[in-house]
Structure 1
Amino acid sequence: MSLQKELKQYLLEQGVSDVGFGHAADEPCDFMGGCGYFVSLVVKLSDAIVEEITTEPTHTYFNHYRSVNAFLDQMLLKTGLFLDHAGYRYITVAASQSINKDGWNYDGRYSHKKAACLAGLGTIGKSSLFLHRQYGARVRLGTIFTDCVFETEQAEPVSLCGACRLCVDACPSGAILGGEWHVGTERKEIFNPEKCSRHMKDKYKHIGRGAVCGICMKVCPRAKNNRERVL
């Protein structure tokens, strides 16, 4: 069995819902210290917990959100140690971490959604959420870069939203602008993260200090509620 297949099998056995491999070919050769290949990890959220979200998030969802992020970070570390043991270098990108740059606090070191799309795991919706090929919007993501060369597919994600506006109409902040995502679309063209964050901090301080919402994720119809793991 190849190292790539062994790693994927290991991660699925650890409880990760789906795994993809990609290459940041559009980045310079010294990107991430020469670690241009990556592993994209997907963990499905609990349908029962998501379904409890109505006009605001729940305390249970906030706890679940944090727990899944912590699990993803542990899986990223385990992936890195797996690769390190095989003689490769790695750099993890935390499941949920914002980097304040020039007063803008709504970007991470690398887009998990971009990585997952490049790895062929799904696409992006009008909500700016990643839509997994099987689980829809009800997922969390993590990414790890490495100098281990993987076999990758040239994925070309396409929009699945069409005329659907459920997330646009349900968003209490007005942060979802209604445009349809296509390859090359910048986030600011379809979504305003600052507006979303400001609403959460203002309206949901009593639930996780205003760190989560989840309404757009809950109403998205792309989730198939399929309990079978992707193999």
Structure 2
Amino acid sequence: MEQQLKEALLDKCREMEIPVVGVANVERWEKPLFQPWIPEEFYPHSIYPEARSVIVIGLPVTLPVLETSPSIYYRELYKTMNSLLDQYTYRLSSFLTEKGYPSVFVPRDGYGSIKVLLDNPVAFFSHRHAAFLAGLGNFGVNNTILTPEYGPRIRFGTIFTTAELESDNTMEEQLCNHCMRCVRMCPSNALEEKNYPQGITDKKACASFSDELNKRYVSPCGICIKVCPIGEDRRTYRREDASMYENKDDFKEYHNTWEHVRPYGGR
């Protein structure tokens, strides 16, 4: 029955054109894999006590749009993706509930605004850690989850379900190659040249820069994920050479494109 339900769930995800799906038993949160770990109040059962499994879905961030960041173009893509993730996770939670397994979705962004993050730069649940525990990828120096398919250019949504589903294996291979491009190019100097979690993001510096971009209607930043060389999407879009973001002379055509987009639609 457990396997049949998971297959039905995966079929539903394929029908909805969701490319990335992973599952983790809630017990995985109780076995820290590195330190510092997530406090217990952020565990799934602390938010939905009946939860037995956590389902994580991912949607890719379109690289050529992201490359224009900070811009209104990327801002609109970001908003669209958040809306889709909330809709998809809501629909999947309803799908499972109708099959007799009460389930709830977790909103993509668990905070009210960037202003809120300046005082408390934490959401009530970490989709990144859920994606890690569901086997979709692992952390890079930029404090995001890197995936084989899209590197860090992916956004996640989460569902808590009472169904006891088979967990996917966590990813053993470390994807980050420590090129430190994200560290060098971070405009708020929020990253350090250390492995996660030792090199954890200076969240307040990141939030402060995002707040400034938000005043211009061109948040979020996105630079640390666009410059990352990891991900098959770089090959798909013929962006294998990630030095293109620092090398303006040899990639002038691309830089001209990005600079054209940025002044429009914001301040």
Assess same fold via TM > 0.5: yes
Partners of 1:22 and 1:121 lie apart in 2 by 10
Deviations 1:22-76 (A, max 9, x none): 11213479532221311101001112201223xxx11010000000000000001
The one of 220, 223, 227 equivalent to 1:215 is 223
Q: Counterpart amino acid of 1:220?
A: C
The one-letter code sitting in structure 2 at the alignment partner of 1:33 is: P
Structure-2 separation of matches of 1:22 and 1:9: 18
Task: Determine whether 1:42 maps to 2:55.
Answer: no
Partner SS, residue 164 of structure 1: coil
Structure 1 partner of 2:17: 15
User: Is residue 153 of structure 1 aligned with residue 168 of structure 2?
Assistant: yes
Which runs of structure 2 are paired with 1:43-192 in the superposition (5 Å)?
Answer: 43-53=59-69, 57-98=70-111, 104-157=119-172, 159-181=174-196, 185=197, 189-192=199-202
Cα displacement string for residues 191-229 of structure 1 (whole angstroms, at most 9, x for unaligned residues): 111110101212552124xx40001111000122166xx
**In the alignment, residue 49 of structure 2 is paired with which amino acid?**
G
Q: Which amino acid aligns with 1:35?
A: A
Q: TM-score under structure 2 normalisation?
A: 0.74
2-11 vs 29-38, greater mean Cα deviation: 29-38
Change in CA separation of 1:175 and 1:207 when aligned onto 2, cut-off 3 Å: same
Tell me by how many angstroms 1:157 deviates.
4.5
CA distance in 2, matches of 1:193, 1:79: 31
Gaps of 5+ in 1: none
Instruction: Kindly indicate which of the two structures has a greater share of residues assigned to helix.
Output: 2
Q: Distance in 2 between matches of 1:111 and 1:36?
A: 17
d(CA) in 2 for partners of 1:166, 1:9: 38
String of CA shifts for 1:81-117, please: whole Å, max 9, x gaps: 101101111122111222799x853222221111111
Match for 2:54: what amino acid? Answer: F
Tell me the CA shift for residue 3 of structure 1.
Answer: 1.4
- Asked if 2 retains the 8 angstrom alpha-carbon contact of 1:131 and 1:222, the reply is yes
The separation in 1 between residues aligned to 2:13 and 2:168, in whole angstroms, is 19
Q: Which is higher, the Rg of structure 1 or of structure 2? A: 2
How far apart, in 1, do the equivalents of 2:16 and 2:158 lie? 16
Structure 1 stretches of 4+ with a deviation exceeding 6 A read none
Letter matched to residue 206 of structure 1: R
What residue number does 1:5 align with?
7
CA distance in 2 between partners of 1:199 and 1:161 (Å): 25
How far apart are the structure 2 equivalents of 1:180 and 1:98? 27
Going from structure 1 to structure 2, the CA distance change for 1:157 and 1:117 (only over 3 Å counts) comes to farther
1:117/1:157 contact within 8 Å kept: no
Contact 1:68 1:140 in 2 (8 A): yes
Of 73-82 and 16-25, the range deviating more from structure 2 = 16-25
Show the counterpart of 2:247: none
Amino acid at match of 1:72: L
- Distance in 1 (CA, whole Å) between partners of 2:45 and 2:220 is 35
Looking at structure 2, the residues matched to 35 and 192 of structure 1 have their Cα atoms a distance apart, in angstroms, of 32
Distance 2:17 2:45 in 1: 33
Identity of aligned residues (%): 28
Pick the aligned partner of 2:210 from 191, 200, 213: 200
| TM-superposed deviation, 1:130 | 1.2
Distance in 1 (alpha carbons) for counterparts of 2:130 and 2:220: 22
- Cα offset for 1:167? 0.1
1:11 aligns to what SS in structure 2? helix
